[in-house]
Amino acid sequence: MESVRTTVVCSKSFLRQSHLMQHQHIHSGEHPYNCDVCKKSFSGKSNLKRHEHVHNGEYPYHCDVCNKSFSQRATLMQHQHIHNGECPYHCDVCNKSFILKYYLKNHLHIHSGERPYDCDVCKKSFNRKTNLKRHQHVHSGERPFHCYVCGKSFSQKGSLKKHLGTHSRECHLHCDVRRKKSSS
């Protein structure tokens, strides 16, 4: 009979030495398994295999309700909360509920005031990674949001929306002038 191996850090037990070794990567922060495509690294071989679906276009997990496809089973399971209305993640501070653990984690920054995402250029900090990425367009000069009316580009989506309002005002003014001419 094979002996049980236990980690010193968290006291989790494993029957196989290889499973113990792989688990210990979590505690050491070591990520020895690298994706050949994007160079992202993982602590376990199974995590890398799961990730590879993203690049090879495989979406083997399908939602029975809306038929949306996913590369990972865990992502499908999270998605299904949308259909069943289940919000299993609760904020201990304000009791607000979330369908994804990630959403709860982001929400908690509101209560703690934590802003863990820092801009390397100007040191401004953000409570969400997406807000940091959006902000970085300012420094990179990237203007990914384009006006479909005149072609002008913007670094922020909000700036494009504001700009689009100028076209709708122009249209309304133009239409009002036309109406006045046709009624006289």
Comparing 98 with 184, the larger pLDDT belongs to 98
Q: What fold is seen in the domain 117-183?
A: Double Stranded RNA Binding Domain (3.30.160)
pLDDT reading at 179 higher than 50 = no
Residue ranges, comma separated, of all CATH 3.30.160.60 domains in the chain are: 5-55, 61-112, 117-183
Distance of CA 148 to the CA centre of its chain: 26
What are the Cα distances from residue 164, in Å, to 86, 127, 157, 178, 182?
A: 37, 28, 11, 21, 27
Comparing 55 with 36, the larger pLDDT belongs to 36
pLDDT at 3: 67
pLDDT at 129: 85
Tell if the pTM clears 0.85, that is, is over it: no
What are the Cα distances from residue 17, in Å, to 3, 5, 140, 167?
A: 9, 7, 48, 66
- Say whether 62 sits in a helix, a strand or coil: strand
pLDDT at 95: 92
The candidate with the shortest Cα–Cα distance to 156, out of 142, 172, 170, 174, is 142
pLDDT reading at 49 higher than 80 = yes
Confidence bin at 91 (pLDDT 50/70/90): very high
Let me know: does 109 contact 127? Beta carbons within 8 Å.
Answer: yes
Query: Which ranges in 29-128 belong to alpha helices (H)?
Result: 45-56, 73-84, 101-112
pLDDT at 2: 54
pLDDT at 38: 85
Alpha-carbon span 45 to 33, nearest angstrom: 6
pLDDT reading at 175 higher than 50 = no
How many percent of the chain have pLDDT more than 90? Answer: 15
Give 5-55's CATH code, choosing from 3.40.50.150, 1.10.1760.20, 3.30.160.60, 3.10.20.600.
Answer: 3.30.160.60
Confidence bin at 172 (pLDDT 50/70/90): very low
What are the Cα distances from residue 3, in Å, to 6, 8, 16, 23?
A: 10, 16, 8, 17
Mean pLDDT of the chain: 82
pLDDT reading at 176 higher than 70 = no
Q: What fold is seen in the domain 61-112?
A: Double Stranded RNA Binding Domain (3.30.160)
pLDDT reading at 174 higher than 60 = no
